[in-house]
Structure 1
Amino acid sequence: MVCCLYVISERKNTIVNTISGASEISKRRRAATWFGYAACAWSLLFSLAHFYWGIEAATTGVLTVPGGNIHLENGPATGSGVILAWVVTVGILCILGGLIALFRIRGERMSHGMQRSATAVGVVTMTAYVVYCFTINGFAWIIAPGTLCVFGAAISLSLIQPWGRFIPRWLLLLLAWLGGVIMIVHELYGGILQGMAVSGMIGWQQEHLMIGAPATQAPLTVQQFINQNLIWGSWFLLGGILFCALAWLARHSLDER
């Protein structure tokens, strides 16, 4: 009788632990899904803003941004370089969209080698695009963040969507962590240096040198510093937090979650 009661008690404990564990996994999965869609929305919204600024730069030469307009020194961006930048950007977006469609539609039918090859194409393409933008600079860097944000949106979705399991998870998590940490560190580093320059602890020329800004860039007033950090600082910190939280919550595969 005692043995029977002991066995029943153990089974009850096992069932309770199983239910509790399943509930915890379900909560983590819902949280990961929420952060994934939030990171995707953040990325797409910022990408649309950059593409809009690219159109403004090529037509009016004035960028409409929160806190005041930015006038380009040489007026509207024109020439073959601008056309090439748009063509390359559209081409990159088409390749990225094609790869996502391939994983969604034929992911399960693809061999392991094909999945790896498709992933490699995406990584190599985006790496080449970043190198191209760093090399060309100028107008390309007005629209380049928009393309990178679309890439970030794809990463966030692949971490929470079933088709994402066809992409090496360690790579997705690495990219999500890198994106989130870079945004947070970049904003904190830049904000601290700007605050030191505004308060007179360091000179503006030294601040420009330390953040890689042009030496001719005008110093910020206290009000401009506050506005810039309230708007852009908060925005970048939000994006960094979303991607880091997503990477942490989605650190297990979809099957394990």
Structure 2
Amino acid sequence: MTFGDIEESARPLAVLVHGFPDTPHTWRHLGPVLTAAGYRVVATWLPGYLAAESGPVSAGTYVRHVLDVRNSHGGDERAVLVGHDWGATAGYGAVVSDPGAFRRFVALAVPPAAALGSGLFGYDQLKRSFYVWFIQQAGLADFAMLEPGFWESLWGDWSPGYDPTQDISMLRRYVTQETIGGVLGPYRASFDPKLIDQGAAAETAATLGVPPVPTYYLHGSRDGAIGAELLGDVISFLSTPGSVFELVDGVGHFLHLERPEVIGSKIVAWLAD
């Protein structure tokens, strides 16, 4: 999915990476805003969403894909990266693996892994993260997540008050019995080393690193996937000069869909600073 003339190399490239469970369609608001700000924009599909993969899909698979997208579209030293959820995790891995690939990085809804620490195992967060543990039930989870109401309920928990009808319609069009295994692959590889994409093992490890480029991290105060109370020390893990952490009041996990004008203007202003 592209915005603007993707071949117009006089413009800097912006790569947008979606998360779980969604599609590049969720960038429909930010893409035109970045185009108006002078970028040519590609919103890529994560591996496993469009077709069944021939091998395992893990976080490193995503990282390698992001870097391939940047290179295939002629990204240069002006390129920027925006990632949400798993797209943010892939972004951390991309800038750690190749610090020269992107000038700046914007991460939404998932902070650097080290910033979460033991907070992931608090009772409230374990309740929020039930789906992570459920996904480990191969076969059962693959079936249940495709049943009517599952995605709607998950989005409702994560972004209370937002109507995801359009987004979930797109999701159901592509995430099917054929592709669900690949979509859930990175969650399973996080707990079972045998499921890691060995061709991208170094890139998987890189997702745990601290971003070496200026990074803008945005998180919703009402995020139902990762509680805002876990982020007290997040700025310590955004140590590159120019990096910023902002907690956005009144929005949940899909903050770029809930308040697209606000989030778009914040991102454009920071990239231009």
Task: Report if TM-score (shorter chain) is over 0.5.
Answer: no
TM-score, normalised via structure 1 length: 0.25
With normalisation by structure 2, the TM-score equals 0.24
CA radius of gyration, larger in: 1
**Larger RCO: 1 or 2 (CA < 8 Å, sep 6+):** 1
- Which structure has the highest helix share of the two? 1
**Which structure shows the bigger proportion of residues in strand conformation?**
2
